[in-house]
């Protein structure tokens, strides 16, 4: 199912407009600007450091969901120009993840490397969050066309499939963080979105493999 031709052409033209990427870039920085304004105005509550850290984690998950939604939405709608926005969304996922980890390192651990390492080893939810962040770094570092050419398309795709593991670790991190307060509503929302997006990819991969087997079987029968 795709959009009818007239709306699709209009949206495709909008997505290809030179201003689209700058607008997306500005919009993606808006959550950070609002958080900084909240710190300056003392409106982040009694524990602004914790509010900042958790909000940055929430935005990491949101950008991860948006990044993973690009391909299904592109294929469903026929808006091929959506693909040009995926890299920026992925980089903002890494950007907010880096800010989230930095806020933890600065406000919780006071940049004490020994304490950070000990805390990561001691607390499972910190461990899986740190693992997700570390796995995200190579994806951000190889997001350029030059990196794709250097790695080769196949190896680049294999590397970037680790985003599925990152999504699982991110949800587990979020679940354990909320477990202490027994507040799982948002966990189920984000988990459901990511499960649907990853399930769609699994379905497409299995369908493609099934078609390939049928084609090979047909070729053998003809031979």
Does residue 220 register a pLDDT over 70? no
CA distance 163 to 198: 10
Structure token pair of residue 81: 């120009």
How sure is the predictor about 7, in pLDDT bands with cuts at 50, 70 and 90? confident
The pLDDT of residue 222: 62
Distance from the first to the final alpha carbon of the chain = 36
Quote the radius of gyration of the chain (alpha carbons, Å).
20
User: What mean pLDDT is predicted for residues 52-79?
Assistant: 94
- Residue 151: name the closest of 67, 143, 137 by CA: 143
| 130: CB partners within 8 A, 6+ apart | 101, 120
How sure is the predictor about 209, in pLDDT bands with cuts at 50, 70 and 90? confident
The pLDDT of residue 103: 96
Q: Does the model's pTM come out above 0.75?
A: yes
- Residue 170: name the closest of 143, 203, 139, 211 by CA: 139
Helices assigned H by DSSP within 78-184: 83-103, 113-122, 124-141, 145-151, 153-160, 163-179
CA distance 85 to 54: 26
- The domain spans of the chain are 5-222
Specify the residue for token string 């004490």.
Answer: 112
- Residue 96: name the closest of 178, 47, 35, 15 by CA: 35
- Taking each helix axis from N to C end, the angle separating 5-16 and 83-103, rounded to the nearest 10 degrees, works out to 50
Does residue 221 register a pLDDT over 80? no
User: What mean pLDDT is predicted for residues 204-209?
Assistant: 82
Does residue 4 register a pLDDT over 70? no
CA distance 200 to 190: 15
């Amino acid at each position: 199912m795709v959009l009818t031709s007239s709306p699709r052409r209009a949206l495709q033209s909008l997505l290809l407009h030179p201003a689209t990427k700058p607008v997306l870039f500005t919009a993606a920085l808006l959550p950070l600007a609002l958080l900084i304004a909240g710190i300056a105005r003392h409106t982040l509550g009694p524990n602004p450091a914790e509010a900042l850290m958790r909000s940055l984690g929430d935005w990491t998950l949101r950008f991860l969901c948006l990044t993973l939604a690009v391909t299904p939405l592109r294929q469903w709608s026929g808006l091929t120009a959506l693909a040009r926005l995926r890299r920026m969304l992925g980089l903002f996922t890494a950007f907010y993840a880096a800010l989230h980890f930095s806020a933890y390192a600065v406000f919780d651990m006071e940049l004490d490397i020994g304490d950070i390492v000990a805390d990561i080893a001691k607390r499972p939810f910190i461990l899986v969050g740190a693992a997700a962040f570390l796995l995200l770094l190579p994806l951000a570092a190889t997001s350029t066309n030059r990196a794709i050419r250097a790695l080769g398309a196949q190896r680049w795709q294999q590397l970037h499939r680790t985003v599925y593991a990152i999504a699982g670790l991110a949800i587990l991190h979020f679940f354990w963080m909320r477990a202490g307060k027994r507040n799982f509503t948002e966990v189920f929302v984000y988990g459901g979105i990511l499960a649907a997006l990853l399930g769609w990819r699994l379905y497409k991969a299995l369908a493609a493999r099934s078609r390939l087997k049928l084609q090979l079987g047909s070729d053998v029968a003809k031979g």
